[in-house]
Amino acid sequence: MKLDVNSLRYLSKDDFRVLTAVEMGMRNHEIVPAELVDRIAGLRHGGTYKVLKNLLKHKLVHHDSSKYDGFRLTYLGYDFLAIKTLVNRGVFNAVGRQIGVGKESDIFEVATEDGTILVMKLHRLGRMSFRAVKSKRDYLKHRNSYNWLYLSRLAALKEFAFMKALGEHGFPVPDAIDCNRHCVVMSLVQGYPLVQVQQLQNTDEVLETIVGLVVRLAEHGLIHCDFNEFNIMIDDNEKVTMIDFPQMVSVSHRNAKMYFDRDIECIFKFFAKRFKLVYEDDENDGTEADEEENGRPSFSSIAKSAGFLDRELAASGFTRKDQDDIEKFVEGGTEQTDITSSEDELEEQGQAETETDAHIVQNMDLLKLEDQNDEKKSEDVTSCNENGENDDGILQPEQNSEKDSDNESDDELTKRLHRQRRRAVAALQGSRRTGSRNAYKDKGGKSGHNSKVQRQFCKW
């Protein structure tokens, strides 16, 4: 959708309040119910529905009544919320022309109050040109449900963090200024994409500089993963600047070597095609030694010695185990890493086995105690002899009501003990499954009637 900011100046505070209410409702709703929007916005009676009608006219929200009456934000409405926040912060106060478009973003010029030109990048994941986010990005991680606005926000936050960290470490990247929602504001690069350049004065030097950036990134623990002629800017003085960072991964990633070799191959292939810079790769066998002889760096020859940006930025592929290994390396304990980890695993396994054994012994003691109670109660029940006398020789009349009540209580106690014993055995064998207290209820019909009759029969 084309960004038209002309209607932004005519929106009131109530309009942005309702837009924010829809955004808050989309945290746990794909389509936000109209009643929930009204409750979150907190406007006077009927005011929310009037504002929603105005937002629909400007295509800032989308109405869906297939299942229930609800609304969701469009990318244009999300753009307005981000731009309004950045304008209130004083980052810029004017939006200009569109200067670039990609498979997952749109790029616009913005101007500050003193006339400085900046760049605003709006991430737009979910468009037809790029929908394979789940297979090509790690934004989702363990999540199953998502919406495109949330994924665009994650991509913007990740790019802003990488850009700011790389700029602090001296890499030629744009200056990261601010970020809000799916919008990233950066400095304007005075140059052209390398794909638009037809001629260079110092081709070898530019190629060496670009390849050196890939190697330097790997030394800091990062791989660009999309380092090609579209993401490299070059000015009139042939100064190189790299852009586009949401897809960067750690050198500890399982596919790090493949991504590194792909970046190098893209650069050499472009220079060979555009600038006729030929390198001899037909005679070699494709090994890493042959690649180094031809000036192509190999992934195994790069030492991660310049820093740990992948740890600081939690890049994809950098796990908690890698962080522990780094800390042990800094402390000088790399030789004992495997031994320590194995000892910890054995200790945890021993604790788990001890707890399991204690649980089994406890259940066995419970069984023995119930067996003793059963034997004791059975002796009390059968303690009377055939003449109706107990062990003390006292005659027990058969029509005694107290005896009847005692026998009934003994029978109930015996049944209860047997029932407890069966439960303990089932728990010990791991075959007991606790059901809900409403599990006995059937959903009507003959089965419900039969279950009711069965329960009454069990009482008798």
Report the relative pairing of strands 176-180 and 183-187 from DSSP bridges. Answer: antiparallel
The Cα angle at residue 274 between residues 269 and 280, in degrees rounded to 5: 45
The single-letter DSSP state of residue 42 is -
Q: How many CA atoms lie within 13 A of 106 on its CB side?
A: 17
Report the relative pairing of strands 117-123 and 105-111 from DSSP bridges. Answer: antiparallel
Report the relative pairing of strands 105-111 and 94-101 from DSSP bridges. Answer: antiparallel
d(CA 389, CA 384): 5
Q: Which of 38, 79, 226, 263 is catalytic?
A: 226
CB 120 within 8 A of CB 108: yes
CB 109 within 8 A of CB 119: yes
Beta strands across the sheet bearing 183-187 = 94-101, 105-111, 117-123, 183-187, 176-180
Any residues with CB less than 8 A from the CB of 448 and at least 6 apart, and which?
A: 441, 442
Any residues with CB less than 8 A from the CB of 381 and at least 6 apart, and which?
A: 407, 410, 414
Backbone CA torsion sign across 148, 154, 157, 159: negative
Please report, for residues 237, 266, 288, the alpha-carbon distance to residue 201 in angstroms, rounded to integers and kept in the order given: 10, 21, 30
226 is catalytic: yes
Both tokens of 71, joined, read 């609304």
Annotated active-site positions, please? 226
